[in-house]
């Protein structure tokens, strides 16, 4: 006897669509909260930002005096003023939705377009800032986070960042042991975990270097911005203090903050600059788009983290714009290019730049010594 089943009557069944959307995967972008945020006024005839710093205190101009004898003009102390400047760049993105799509859609495409475009520009701004701090080249093509090759000139504002910390620069590799033991090539080939994995001793060395550089603190503390895998290594250290154990200390709590070690705040970013394991120093400026994973073997990810002091970098924008919340424009009226009003566009633009700030009495060609770039591997295999 034939039996009627759901298969027999399959044409009556419809797929049920749950209108509750799953959360969009977003990057944890944290860098701009630690920047000096400067506004360029409108209508003043300028498209670049310039920061100034007078020379540091010095003993050179202090002299012994003879009673009744005035110092000669040639022995007077002269003031010095350093300028660091960089031109702003305009970035933007547009999403277009047809009228038919809007009339028949199950989900609100305009709202989703706004959310998507806001997340895209936030990731772009964070990537530009990250790459300027590292010294890597980023193209202005709006096809995503496109990075240059080792042969291309890195983005900079005329300050050399290629010297190691022991020579007055900002680059630190592995487990520093007084900041002199490793290079990028050595980090690539060294498979000894003690030399390549971040620990509380590394954090202490980095903080000591910033103090010797007379770097100001950010609200009374230095900040280490790092990848979740490096943070995981630090969390296993006996000197780690979870953020949940702080209590109410009346101090700022940063986006991405997970804890402290030796009083240094540790903040996690997921948009980390990761270099591939390679034997040439130039490869530290090349972003690795596909992960080789954790661990300390030669081919594994080399992760760049930032130990930040105060006034390490700036993120200037045009007055009226916001680095953290760029304006989104929705156009839903007919015009000459769309007389039948068949498209609704959602767009965002920002006039932005990231600028490394030189420190102390160095000129604009000096090293920005109020932050450090620390590259290491991780003990986790993730």
Average pLDDT over residues 291-314: 91
Residue position matching structure tokens 């007389």: 339
Of 26, 117, 38, nearest to 321 by C-alpha is 38
Average pLDDT over residues 350-362: 67
Give me the pLDDT at residue 127, please: 86
pLDDT at 227 over 90: yes
Lowest average pLDDT, out of 86-90, 147-151, 201-205, 281-285, goes to: 147-151
Give me the pLDDT at residue 98, please: 93
Structure tokens at 16: 């049920």
What are the tens digits of pLDDT across the range 85-105?
777 778 888 999 999 988 888
| Between residues 136 and 62, the one the model is more confident about | 62
Of 352, 29, 367, 374, nearest to 222 by C-alpha is 374
What residues contact residue 19 under an 8 Å CB cut-off, 6+ apart? 106, 107
Give me the pLDDT at residue 245, please: 84
Across 136-140, 202-206, 322-326, the highest mean pLDDT is recorded for: 202-206
**Whole-number Å distance between alpha carbons of 300 and 277:** 6
Structure tokens at 75: 């022995």
Average pLDDT over residues 178-203: 79
Which regions of 23-74 does DSSP assign to beta strands (E)? 39-40, 48-54
Contact (Cβ atoms closer than 8 angstroms) between residue 34 and residue 323: no
Of the chain, the percentage scoring pLDDT greater than 70 comes to: 82
Lowest average pLDDT, out of 242-251, 318-327, 350-359, goes to: 318-327
Give me the pLDDT at residue 10, please: 84
Give me the pLDDT at residue 226, please: 97
pLDDT at 280 over 80: no
What are the tens digits of pLDDT across the range 358-371?
543 344 444 567 89
What are the tens digits of pLDDT across the range 120-177?
888 888 988 888 888 765 443 323 333 433 333 334 444 445 566 666 667 888 887 6
Q: Measure Cα distances from 255 to 71, 231, 252 in Å.
A: 55, 15, 10
**Whole-number Å distance between alpha carbons of 176 and 182:** 7
Q: What is the mean pLDDT of the chain?
A: 80
What residues contact residue 2 under an 8 Å CB cut-off, 6+ apart? none
**Whole-number Å distance between alpha carbons of 176 and 307:** 13
What are the tens digits of pLDDT across the range 246-257?
867 788 899 999
**Whole-number Å distance between alpha carbons of 116 and 1:** 56
Average pLDDT over residues 204-211: 92
Average pLDDT over residues 217-245: 94
């Amino acid at each position: 006897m034939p039996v009627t089943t759901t298969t027999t009557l399959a044409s009556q069944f419809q797929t049920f669509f749950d209108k509750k959307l799953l959360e969009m995967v977003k990057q944890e972008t944290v860098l701009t909260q630690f920047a000096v945020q400067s506004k360029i006024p409108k209508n003043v005839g300028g498209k670049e930002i310039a920061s100034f710093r007078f020379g540091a205190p010095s003993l050179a101009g202090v002299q012994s005096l003879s009673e009744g004898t005035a110092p000669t003009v040639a022995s007077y102390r002269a003031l010095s003023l350093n300028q660091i400047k960089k031109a702003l760049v305009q970035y933007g993105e547009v999403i277009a939705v047809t009228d038919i799509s809007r009339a028949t859609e199950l989900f609100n495409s305009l709202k989703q377009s706004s959310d998507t475009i806001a997340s895209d520009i936030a990731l772009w701004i964070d990537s530009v800032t990250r790459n300027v701090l590292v010294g890597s080249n980023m193209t202005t093509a709006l096809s995503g986070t496109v990075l240059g090759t080792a042969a291309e000139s890195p983005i900079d504002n005329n300050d050399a960042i290629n010297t190691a910390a022991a020579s007055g620069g900002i680059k630190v590799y592995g487990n520093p042991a007084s900041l002199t033991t490793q290079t990028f090539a050595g980090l690539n080939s060294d498979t000894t975990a003690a030399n390549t994995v971040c620990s509380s001793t590394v954090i202490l060395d980095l903080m000591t270097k910033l103090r010797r550089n007379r770097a100001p603190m950010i609200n009374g503390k230095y900040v280490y911005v790092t990848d979740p895998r490096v943070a995981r290594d630090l969390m296993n250290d006996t000197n780690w203090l979870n953020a949940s154990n702080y209590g109410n200390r009346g101090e700022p709590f940063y986006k991405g903050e997970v804890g402290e070690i030796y009083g240094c705040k540790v903040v996690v970013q997921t948009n980390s600059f990761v270099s591939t394991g390679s034997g040439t120093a130039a490869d530290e400026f090349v972003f690795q788009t596909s992960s080789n994973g954790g661990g300390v073997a030669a081919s594994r990810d080399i992760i760049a983290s930032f130990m930040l002091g105060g006034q390490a970098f700036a993120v200037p924008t045009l007055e009226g714009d916001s680095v953290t919340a760029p304006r989104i424009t929705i156009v839903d009226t007919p015009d000459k290019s769309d007389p039948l009003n068949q498209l609704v566009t959602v767009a965002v633009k920002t006039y932005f730049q990231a600028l490394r700030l030189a420190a102390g009495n160095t000129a604009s060609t000096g090293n920005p010594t109020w932050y450090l770039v620390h590259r290491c591997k991780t003990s986790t295999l993730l």
